[in-house]
Amino acid sequence: MAERAQIAIVGAGVTGLAAACELGAGAFVVDRIPVCGGVTGWRHPIVGQLEQRARAAGARLALGVTATRWEQGELLVIGPEGPLRIAAAGLLVAAGSRPLGRAELGLAGARPAGVMPATVACHLAESGLAAGRRPIVLGGGDWAERATRELLAAGARSVSVVAPEGLLRAFPGSAAVRVHDHVQPLAIEGGPRVTGLHTDAGTIEGDALVLAHRLAPLRNVDGAVDAGENTVYAQPQTDPASVSAAIAAGRAAAASMLQRAAA
Q: Are 39 and 137 in a shared domain?
A: no
Cis? peptide before 135, omega within 30° of 0: no
Sign of the torsion formed by the C-alpha atoms of 220, 225, 231 and 237: positive
- pLDDT tens figures, 123-139: 899 899 999 999 999 99
Q: How far apart are CA 198 and CA 40, in angstroms?
A: 35
Q: Any idea what the CATH number is for the domain that residue 82 is in?
A: 3.50.50.60
- pLDDT tens figures, 61-114: 999 999 999 998 999 999 999 999 999 999 999 998 889 999 999 999 989 999
Q: Are 12 and 46 in a shared domain?
A: yes
Q: Are 146 and 233 in a shared domain?
A: no
Q: How far apart are CA 53 and CA 48, in angstroms?
A: 9
Q: Are 134 and 74 in a shared domain?
A: no
Q: Number of folded domains in the chain?
A: 2
- pLDDT tens figures, 171-218: 989 999 999 999 999 999 999 999 999 999 999 999 999 999 988 887
Q: Are 71 and 160 in a shared domain?
A: no
- pLDDT tens figures, 48-64: 999 999 999 999 999 99
**Cβ neighbour number for residue 212 with a 10 Å cutoff:** 30
Q: Which residues of 133-169 are buried (b: 16+ CB within 10 A; e: fewer)?
A: ebbbbbbbbbbbbbbbbbbbebebebbbbbbbeebbb
Asked if residue 91 lies in contact with residue 222, where contact means CB atoms within 8 angstroms, the answer is: no
Q: What are phi and psi of 224, to 5 degrees?
A: -90, 85
Q: Are 230 and 194 in a shared domain?
A: no
| Residues shown for the chain | 263
Q: How far apart are CA 133 and CA 6, in angstroms?
A: 51
Kindly tell me if the per-residue pLDDT of 4 is higher than 60. no
Q: Are 43 and 81 in a shared domain?
A: yes
Q: Are 29 and 13 in a shared domain?
A: yes
Asked if residue 20 lies in contact with residue 29, where contact means CB atoms within 8 angstroms, the answer is: yes
Of 64, 50, 39, 25, the C-alpha closest to 251 is 50
Q: Are 149 and 176 in a shared domain?
A: yes
Range of the domain at 168: 99-215
Asked if residue 24 lies in contact with residue 57, where contact means CB atoms within 8 angstroms, the answer is: yes
pLDDT band with cut points at 50, 70 and 90 for residue 220: confident
Q: Are 165 and 133 in a shared domain?
A: yes
pTM as predicted: 0.77
Q: Are 210 and 224 in a shared domain?
A: no
Q: Are 59 and 88 in a shared domain?
A: yes
